[in-house]
Structure 1
Amino acid sequence: MLTRLALIVLLILLTPYVIAEEKTCSQWGESNRVDEYRIDKLFIKAYVSRGNCACTTPNQATLIVSGIISMDSSYAISKIIQGLNLCPLPSDPGPGDRLRVTLDSPGGEIIHGLYLGELLRNYGALTIVPNGKTCASSCALAFLGGSHRHFEYGAKLALHAPYTVGEDGKITCHSSGKVADGLKQYLLEMLGPDYAEIVFDRMMSYCSRQEAWTITGTKAAHLYGIVSEPGWW
C-alpha cells in the first residue's frame, strides 16, 4: 500500500502526462468560429459554439444552407458536420441541442435531398425554414429529416412529384414504381404512418416544374406533421 508521501510524489510525476492528454482533445482551448463554404450553386455557413473537452458543457452548431442541392451536396454537408466534432447526443435531447440546420432552397437533386434528410435524422438535427423563405422539392425532403422541425414566420414548404426532363424539355413524373416506392418509405420513416400517406398523395398530385403542393406557416404545417408542436419555439 502506498504511503501518503509516495502517493503525493506519484501524483506530481503524473501531472504533466495528464495535462498533455487533456490538450489532445480537439475541442480543448477552441473558441467559437464561423466557416463558409461555396460549392457550385450551394452556400453553407457553419456557426460553432464550443463546449468543453469532456462534453459536460456540449458544443452546438448551426448550419445555414441556401442554394441548389446538387449531386455532391449531401457529401459536402456530411464532411462539414464530421469536422465539427460534435458532442454525443444527450440521453434526452431537446430541439437543436447539438445541431440546427436552416434551409432556404428551390430544390435540386431528389436523391441527395433524401440522403441529406437521412443524415440530419442520424445527427438528431433541428431543421428550420427561415422567416419568409421557401424550402422546395428536394430541400423539403431534406427538411423532413429533422428530428425536430420548425417554421419561422411566413416560411413555406413546397413538394411535388419527382420527375425527369427529356431532351425535348418535357417532364416525365414518377408517381409509381421504384422511385415513388422509395419516396413513400422515406416519408413513412420521417413522418410516421399518421401523416406519410396524405403527404405522399398530395405531393404526387402535382406533376409540374412550376407548381407544387405548398404549405405556409406553422399551424398549417402542423396539421400534416411537417413541423413539431407549434409554439414550442
Structure 2
Amino acid sequence: MPYRLVLLLSLFILAPTLYAEAEIERIRLGDGIDMDLRRFSAEGDTLLLGFPCDLGMGRAEAQAGEVLSRRGIEVWMADLLGAHFLPIAPSSMRSLEGREVARLIRHAVETTDKRIILIASGYGAVPALRGARMWQAERPEDTRLGGAILFYPMLNAHNPQPGQPLEYLEVVHHTRLPVIVMQPTNTPTRFWVDKLKHTLEQGGSRVRVELLPGVRGHFYDREDATEAERAMARRLPELVEQALQQLKQMEAP
C-alpha cells in the first residue's frame, strides 16, 4: 500500500476557543520538553507538519488547517516556541537547532502510515530544514519525508548589506528534499529567490518557485493588509493544495 501523504502543519498556533473540534495531544519530545499537538484528523493520504513565521499567532494558518482537513488532508499543529517558553521573534526561530522537528517527524512515522510534508513560513523555515536534515541522517532509508513547502523563507545567514553578497545558513547548502518556495513579489527577498533556488539545488534539492503577485511577506496575518493580500490570504488552503500537487509531480519518476 503506498504511503499516505502527510502534511505536518505543526507550528501554527491557534486559539483553543476558536477551534474546539481539534483533538489535542500532549507528547514528550525528550529532554523534559512537552509539546501540545492540535490535530485535525482526515481520512486522506496527506498529513501536514508546519511551522509558523515569527509574527502573529497563526490564526489564518489554523483556519487553513481546518479547511484542509475537511478536504481530506490531515493537519497537525504544534507550538514549538511555546514548548521552550520563547517569545515570537526571528531570533527565537533561528535559535532552534531542529531536534524538536526531527522528533515530531519520528512521532508521525511511528503513529501513522502517512507520508510527511513540512510546511513553514518566514524564519520558521530554519528549524524546519534543520530538523529534516537531522531526520534524514538518523533514518536515511526512510522515504516518508516527502518534501517541504516554504512560504517566503528567511534563510539568510545575516542581514543583507549594500555591496555584500547574500550568504545563506549552512542548512540550505545541505538540504536534500523536494521544495516548493511560495514567494511574494512585493518584498525584497523576491530579488534573491533565484539564488536561494540555486543554492538549494547545489545541495541536492529539487526546487520550484511559485511567485505570489501583489503581496508582501506575512500577507495572511498583516494588520495593514491590502485588498490583494486579504484576497490571497483567503486562497491559503488552495495555495497549499497546489503546492502539494507540484510535490507529487516532482516525486514522479
The TM-score normalised by the length of structure 2 is: 0.33
Structure with the higher helix share, 1 or 2: 2
The TM-score normalised by the length of structure 1 is: 0.35
The answer to which structure, 1 or 2, has the higher relative contact order (CA under 8 A, 6+ apart) is 2
